[in-house]
Chains A and B, each alone.
Chain A
Amino acid sequence: MTDALDRGAARRPLLSLRTITMTFGGVRALKGVRFEVMPGEVHCLAGENGSGKSTLIKIITGVYRPEPGAEIEYDGETYSHMSPVTAQAAGIQVIWQDLALFPEMSVAENIAFQTMVGRRPRLVDYGAMRKAAAAALKRLGVTLDVDRPLKDFPIAQRQIVAIARALVGEAKIVFMDEPTASLTQSETDYLLDIVRTLSASGVAVVFVSHRLAEVLEISDRLTVLRDGALVGVYPTEGMTQSRITELMTGKVFDQTVRAKPVAGRPVVLEVEGLSRQGLFEDVSLTVRQGETLAITGLLGAGRTELALALFGMLRPTAGTVTLEGRPVRFASNRDAIAAGIAYLSEDRLSLGLIQPQSIADNLVMASYDRLLTGGLLSERRKRTVVADWIRRLAVKIGRQEDPISTLSGGNQQRVAIAKWLATNPKLLILDSPTVGVDVGARAGIFEIVASLAADGLAIILITDEVPEAYFNADRVLHMANGRIVNRFDPRVTALSEIEAAVYA
């Protein structure tokens, strides 16, 4: 083939989608979206959680059928919809956000499972399967014992298996739905190298990531979705992180310091010399009405343990806690809740919310007693209470009865906050409330925090991210090795100075 022909072919998109619409129950996940990928390009699909990125990928790969009117053109052929078998046979591969692996099966079978599907049943060729798996791993430069069951491997290696799976067979286009979410920095760099290699060998890669730095580093072009609708397609060159954020959310984020003077206000919580052997030592702090106190520091500094102690889930070995002037000692978190302390745990997904249960049930979980009339739960009151919180915190939901797992990270976090606000607390402890929440939704959560503070709630905000503490808190405490080592006022200290202290 000549060069000119090559370039001529490259002008035509490999994949072209038009007017893609998809509705789940009442939620319109995609509204007439257009999407195009050129052969061999690295194309980023950007958008907040719930904007429809995964749904779009599932339509391209035939997991879902789009509504009538959709046009799919791939590699010169037109389809009204795809099927997983056709898509795979045509060289469309996916690394799914949830990996979609089979934990009980061997690594080899996971990687080469494609050879097990197809139009008609066949005999299994285990030899060919293991060879294909080994070859795919070799392309990644990884060695794994392919005969061991997948469940023996940690998540990062499962991610590698999911990537290797996409390299079996002749891929023309590989979709990667948040492939770096559970990888470390060096593993991520490694993956980005793989993306470059694929692209150089003529395979198109569609890359979904929340880490905008990665997006800028790797991609040629960028398609932005917002609320299921196309915002636009842009060359990556000349883009900045803040511009992408703006496109994704439709908002401009002004990062200004929110800190305000709080000195004269009544003290809600006073902690004196609180210690617990090996976890934290001699911690003293006060939180006043309407104040947001941030505690930042590195992972393992003892922040979560301190919060658990304040919430009655860890017994301190020394020190005192005073709540609104009265000394308190909690035997359990029930006592703490009754006294007016609420704690939004770090691990929302496994500890804070019960995923298969409904939005409504999750929301009233901590405040059930308030909904009882004569010992019985009043469904009507529950509905109104839930509706009220959904409205006040602007949670985007379909129906109250939907499982909480149908919501995006940001909206789940809002429900988790509402769950605690429904207990009518005096002090709200937020432990890493933005983990797994994307940029736009983060801003929304801090809006809520600010308005709660304005209503007089005392708030402790625990976060790893110094800027988050700096912009959103009235005072910032720096914790290291179980001790409070610095106290900053964002109004007088520069962000860089706090960052230097914490990350030193």
Chain B
Amino acid sequence: MPKALHTHGTEIVLLAVIAVMCVGLGLTTERFATLGNAFDLLNISAVNIIFAVGLLVVLIAGGIDISFAVAASVVQYVTATILGAIGGGEWISGFLIAGSVGILLGVFNAFLIHTFRIISIVATIATFNIYFGLLMFFTRGVSIYNLPDWLTTRVILYERELADGSWVEITLPVLVMLVCVAATWFLIGRTTTGRQLYAFGDNPEGARRFGIDIGAMQYIAFGWLGLMAGIGGLVQAHYAQEVVPNALYGRELDVLAAVVLGGARLGGGKGSVIGCVLGVLLIAITQNGLNLLGVSPYAFKMIVGAIILVAIALSNSRLETLFGSSRKEGARP
């Protein structure tokens, strides 16, 4: 068997599935197989990919996070409010504020998990409700439309009209997404900290024997996801040109499905950035295809649910790390 199949099996399968779907959709629908649609998909998926690489880091470290999407909404509000207070700001201050608030919200999850030994799914379901409750309470559900001009103006980095009249565009969200993907790839693949995250997710007791700081691992993983949630939140506000309090509510499950589809495992120790990106694209293509085929959007929800179910079933042997018993030591004879 070729080596690549061992080390990149999931990615290769995903690519193949995406290829098959593209051919199938290209044959059955008119719009799908255009280059314009391909770039649309990329622009649309940018925010989800940013979220996904953040969530990937948490999954690798053996945790899970339900709260990041509403945390991103909180970031949008807080950032919009602060930007208003400081008289507008620009992209740099926007990213700094959004990133910091995001990290703060993510680190709060790590604090709960590490200090009180609450398993991550329970802790983040709690913060999911806290964040969303606070958001609805303070905003009374009202959206913000008067965002600074720099934030709502589309930034097109590259565009070209094609022979068939459609447009190819690369926008700012795609650039930000690429930066986030590269940074996450660097963190988990190229730094010792990243490898420690894998080790911690794979075998927490083994990691502890190496003197890896378990608390630091939680803070880094959830802090990173918080940072990505903050950046993703700002980019989403830019993309939508408004801030709607429940715009991202429910997004967490779509992203979770995409990440596990990309080969990350509930229970920790496994997952790659490329797989994660392919997972988001596959989900986006599925959604796009269903739209073009005129299928009800609820069918998409069912697919997302089914993917999560299958992922849980496949990783059940490791679920003890997710749902309970944090102490994991080999059976004594």
> Which residues of A does B touch, CB under 8 Å?
49, 58, 61-63, 83-85, 87-88, 94, 96-106, 109, 113-118, 121-124, 147-149, 152, 178, 181, 349, 355-356, 405, 408-409, 436
A-B contact count (CB 8 A): 106
Residue of chain A at shortest CB distance from B265:
A104
Whether B6 pairs with A349 at a CB distance below 8 angstroms is no
Whether A113 pairs with B210 at a CB distance below 8 angstroms is yes
Task: Report B271 CB to chain A, min CB distance, Å.
Answer: 9
Whether A63 pairs with B3 at a CB distance below 8 angstroms is no
Whether B195 pairs with A124 at a CB distance below 8 angstroms is yes
Chain A proximity mask over B159-192: 1 for CB below 8 Å, otherwise 0: 0000000000000000000000000000001111
Residue of chain B at shortest CB distance from A84:
B211
Whether B209 pairs with A96 at a CB distance below 8 angstroms is yes
Whether B195 pairs with A148 at a CB distance below 8 angstroms is no
Contact of A117 with B209 at beta-carbon distance under 8 Å, contacts A101-B203, A147-B3, A409-B332 already known: no
Whether A102 pairs with B202 at a CB distance below 8 angstroms is yes
B202 surroundings in chain A (CB, below 8 A): 102-105
Whether B333 pairs with A181 at a CB distance below 8 angstroms is yes
Residue of chain A at shortest CB distance from B270:
A104
User: B330: CB under 8 A from chain A?
Assistant: yes
Q: B211 is contacted by which of A88, A103, A123 (Cβ under 8 Å)? A: A88
Whether A102 pairs with B209 at a CB distance below 8 angstroms is no
Whether A85 pairs with B333 at a CB distance below 8 angstroms is no
**23 cross-chain CB contacts under 8 A:** A62-B211, A83-B211, A84-B208, A84-B209, A88-B210, A88-B211, A96-B209, A100-B205, A100-B330, A103-B202, A103-B269, A104-B265, A104-B269, A105-B199, A105-B269, A106-B7, A114-B210, A115-B192, A116-B192, A117-B211, A124-B195, A147-B6, A408-B332
Count residues on chain B whose CB falls below 8 Å from chain A CBs.
33
Residue of chain A at shortest CB distance from B199:
A102
Q: B209 is contacted by which of A100, A105, A122 (Cβ under 8 Å)? A: A100
In terms of DSSP, what is the predominant structure of the interface of chain B? helix
Whether B6 pairs with A405 at a CB distance below 8 angstroms is no
Whether A117 pairs with B7 at a CB distance below 8 angstroms is no
Q: Which of A84, A85, A104, A118 has the largest number of chain B CB atoms within 10 A? A: A104
A355 to B331, CA, bound (A): 8
Whether B3 pairs with A117 at a CB distance below 8 angstroms is no
B194 surroundings in chain A (CB, below 8 A): 124
Q: Which of B190, B192, B196, B198 has the largest number of chain A CB atoms within 10 A? A: B192
A113 to B210, CA, bound (A): 9
A124 to B192, CA, bound (A): 6
Residue of chain A at shortest CB distance from B196:
A116
User: B288: CB under 8 A from chain A?
Assistant: no
Top 8 nearest A-B pairs (CB, nearest first) are: A98-B330, A84-B211, A100-B206, A436-B333, A104-B269, A102-B202, A85-B211, A116-B195
User: B30: CB under 8 A from chain A?
Assistant: no
B206 surroundings in chain A (CB, below 8 A): 96, 99-102
Whether B199 pairs with A123 at a CB distance below 8 angstroms is no
B190 surroundings in chain A (CB, below 8 A): 123-124
Residue of chain A at shortest CB distance from B220:
A121
A87 to B210, CA, bound (A): 10
Chain A proximity mask over B269-283: 1 for CB below 8 Å, otherwise 0: 110000000000000
